[in-house]
Structure 1
Amino acid sequence: MFTVYVLHSKSFDKIYIGFTSNLKERLLSHNELGKKGWTIRFRPWDLIHQEEFVNKPDAMRREKELKTAKGREWIWKLVNG
């Protein structure tokens, strides 16, 4: 199983879109364990959306959709109510 997920940093009002095969471990990396990368600068992150997929290509396709202008618009509507 693969999870496409969306994180929001309330402190910096940033969003992050990704996919993983282990969501619990990935969230831990974003919020605590990671030592490098874009997300460490905007901690803490809250999980605001997730979708499950059976295979990796479908998850990658959905992640790409969410990263489009239309996808980001939909995400910001989630964030702002």
Structure 2
Amino acid sequence: MYKVYILYSNTLNKFYIGYTGDNIQTRLKKHNSNHKGFTGKVNDWFVKYTEDYKTKEEALAREKQIKSWKSRKMILQLIEKVNT
């Protein structure tokens, strides 16, 4: 099972979109650790949204689709659909 996820950082006021085959909490710990890369700058990332997929290919395609939007508004609309 694979997950597409959207993280949010209050410090950066930014979203991060990714996918994983790992446990989402394990992956979140890695994002919140001190490391090189976009999410390594701060340690206040939290999960705002997830979707489940059976294959890595499906999850990767969905991740790329969401990233291609390049639109905070569309990401917020996606998150709001789940929370309503």
> For the superposition of Structure 1 and Structure 2, which TM-score range results when normalised by the shorter chain?
0.7 to 0.9
Give the unaligned 5+ runs of structure 1: none
Q: Which residue pairs with 1:26 in the alignment?
A: 27
Q: TM-score, normalised by structure 1?
A: 0.82
- Looking at structure 2, the residues matched to 55 and 41 of structure 1 have their Cα atoms a distance apart, in angstroms, of 30
Q: Which residue pairs with 1:40 in the alignment?
A: 40
Offset, 1:74? 1.9
Q: AA paired with 1:12?
A: L
Superposed counterparts of 1:44-63, under 5 Å: 44-63=44-63
The number of equivalent residue pairs is 79
Q: Which residue pairs with 1:65 in the alignment?
A: 65
Give the unaligned 5+ runs of structure 2: none
Q: Is this contact kept in 1: 2:5–2:17, CA < 8 A?
A: yes
User: Which has the higher relative contact order, 1 or 2, with Cα contacts under 8 A spaced 6 or more apart?
Assistant: 1
Runs (4+) off by over 4 Å: none
Query: Sequence identity of aligned pairs in percent?
Result: 35
Q: Which residue pairs with 1:12 in the alignment?
A: 12
- Other structure's SS at 1:52 match: strand
Identify if the C-alpha distance between structure 1 residues 36 and 62 changes in structure 2 by more than 3 Å, giving closer, same or farther: same
Q: Let me know the Cα RMSD of the aligned residues.
A: 2.1
Q: TM-score, normalised by structure 2?
A: 0.80
Identify if the C-alpha distance between structure 1 residues 70 and 38 changes in structure 2 by more than 3 Å, giving closer, same or farther: closer
